[in-house]
Amino acid sequence: MGEIDADDIPRELLAILLRVTWSILLAEQTLTIDVRGLTTHMPPRMVDNRSRESRSRLMSRVRGKDTKPEMVVRRLAHRLGYRFRLHRRDLPGRPDLVFPGRKKVIFVHGCYWHRHSCKLATTPKSNVEFWLTKFRENTRRDKRNLAALHKQGWDCMVLWQCEIERGEGLDDRLTSFLGGGR
């Protein structure tokens, strides 16, 4: 097989080849390639030090219910004398705590996944477009679920992970939202 002259390759294909080459290289520093006047600057990519199976197993352990912040709220509500149901499937968004007699629900949101405006809501540096799309869909779904619950006559409260970790006035907020007469 003979050598291929870069002048014989269409510019668009050359750009694709450069990107593919870069993704194979996974260089430690910024790489600049200049072929036939086509300059490509490629920033370093974060290398995942886990195998695909290991990463999958790790991500599967990210829980959607019974999280630490949720358990804090559940214990507090119970200690304050309120009784509730958990994760009712017949309600939009499966609220974390449901108080059927009061027609009230509480969502305990993780700041990262539900995009709270705090320091815990970071954005990964790799595969940025995927994560931005994921986060955008999460927040859209949250808004749809809250709107659907309001339409069905439910009062909703969203508690954020960072608020729960601080714990300041959480019992007052719960009592204010849920009312007296436990």
pLDDT of residue 55: 74
pLDDT of residue 66: 82
The pLDDT tens digits of the residues spanning 116-154 come to 899 888 888 888 898 899 999 999 999 999 999 999 999
Tally the C-alpha atoms within 13 A of residue 76's C-alpha that lie toward its C-beta: 22
Beta bridge partners of residue 105, listed in sequence order: 98, 156
Q: What residues contact residue 52 under an 8 Å CB cut-off, 6+ apart?
A: none
- Tell me how crowded residue 111 is: count the other CB atoms within 10 A of its CB: 20
The pLDDT tens digits of the residues spanning 42-56 come to 555 556 677 888 877
pLDDT of residue 126: 83
The pLDDT tens digits of the residues spanning 60-108 come to 777 777 899 999 999 999 999 999 999 999 999 999 999 999 999 999 9
- What domains does the chain contain, in order, with CATH numbers? 1-54 (no CATH), 64-178 (3.40.960.10)
The pLDDT tens digits of the residues spanning 8-18 come to 666 666 566 65
Count, in order, helices (H) and strands (E) of the chain: 7, 6
